[in-house]
Amino acid sequence: MAIEVVKVELKTVSDASGMEDAIKKGQFAADEVIAVIGKTEGNGGVNDFTRILADEAFRRVLLKHGKRAEPDIKQIPMVWSGGCDGVITPHATVFARNGKKGDASKPRLAMGTAISATLLPEDIGRLAMVEKVAAGVKAAMKNAGIDNPKDVHYVQTKTPLLTIDSVLDAEKRHQTVACEVHESMGVSNGTTALGIAVALGEISMPKAEEICKNLDLYSSVASCSSGVELNEAQIVLLGNAPGAGGRYKIGHSVMKDALDIDGIYDSIRDAGLTLPERPRASDLGGKLVNVFMKCEADRTGKLRGRRQIMLDDSDVSWHRHIKAAVGGVAATAIGDAAVFVSVDAMHQGPQGGGPCIAIIDAGE
């Protein structure tokens, strides 16, 4: 069954009018929406409640215009990444599944979703989380109708992070947690990425001591975010499958570092769009829907041999430095500031870089 993909801008923190307009125009029905991936304009930290506001707004629209009950709508994966530093525009990419059948000879975008088993506070940063996420990813592959892990190009997740309340809950149950509250965002993302890599055969099951330590272990298709609004892994898996139908294809590559604009174009090529050797945004011809990428400050404090200060800045978190920088590179590459750039890329792409995923309109 075909996947429809639409990118809409968020005009305010709790604005879902772009999706509502698409529903009214008949681009898809409210009951066909199966996932949303978006950027909100908060601080991107533990207390970024703009993610919750956006989530509630989009679910209200689906409840208003569809026939699904509220409990069913609550189960739709909506992955919100907070922080639109630099030029990044708040936006959402909406995915809907319709009843159109596809040509079996043409691989097109297929999507599967899954929600993992409950992730306890003491699971974060440990093998239990790797195992639960890996099982969820395999379930999402089955849901997408994809058998070969090599046909998977993007796994977007949202997982819980630690809060004071969840740490106290673990202590009441005589359990320990693997990290501090403010470390838990990166640790949750990194542990999740290892689960994705294990499920797709990119790595074997890591040792406990390698989690968030051995950065040579990574997934090239993982994009992991975390927040306070859930207690399991929400998994959205995308790949290409013959007969899936629709107009869209997906591809991926990696950015080797924060300046690797070629990595962005390589992901677009991998999705099937022919580009010149030295492409520019104008060469995309309106065929690109969106790019999704993760980024991380290089822990060596260097970028192509030049000293960087973002890890030493006590006033502005390195999260905001690197997100703004990579967002600018990505916006330049595609000629659109509505790009999905998320930080904390531990175990997601090479150290100092990160995965880059592109969805294109390949036509009928």
Whether residue 358 contacts residue 279, with contact meaning beta carbons closer than 8 Å, is answered with no
Q: How far is the C-alpha of 152 from the C-alpha of 109, rounded, in Å?
A: 10
Give the helix/strand (H/E) hosting 240.
strand 234-242
Of 184, 225, 267, 342, which residue is the catalytic one?
Answer: 225
All residues at 6 or more sequence positions from 286 whose CB lies less than 8 Å from its CB, including other chains:
361
Give the helix/strand (H/E) hosting 140.
helix 127-144
In the residue annotation, 158 being an active-site residue is answered as yes
Burial of 180 (0-12, 13-18, 19+ CB in 10 A): exposed
Distances (CA, A) of 344 to 58, 84, 85, 189, 261: 25, 15, 14, 7, 19
Whether residue 257 contacts residue 159, with contact meaning beta carbons closer than 8 Å, is answered with no
Residue 8, phi then psi, degrees to nearest 5: -130, 145
- Residue 110: both structure tokens together: 């297929």
Of 7, 138, 158, 249, which residue is the catalytic one?
Answer: 158
Q: What residues does 119 pair with on adjacent strands?
A: none
Residue 149, phi then psi, degrees to nearest 5: -55, -25
Give the helix/strand (H/E) hosting 291.
strand 288-294
Would you state the torsion angle of the CA atoms of residues 243, 244, 247, 252, taken in this order, to the nearest 10 degrees?
A: -110
Q: Of 97, 89, 31, which is closest to residue 59 (Cα–Cα)?
A: 31
Residues in the chain: 364
Tally of CB atoms within 10 A around 110: 29
- Residue 55: both structure tokens together: 């989530």
- Residue 297: both structure tokens together: 């400050």
Q: How far is the C-alpha of 193 from the C-alpha of 345, rounded, in Å?
A: 9
> Which amino acids are annotated catalytic?
158, 225
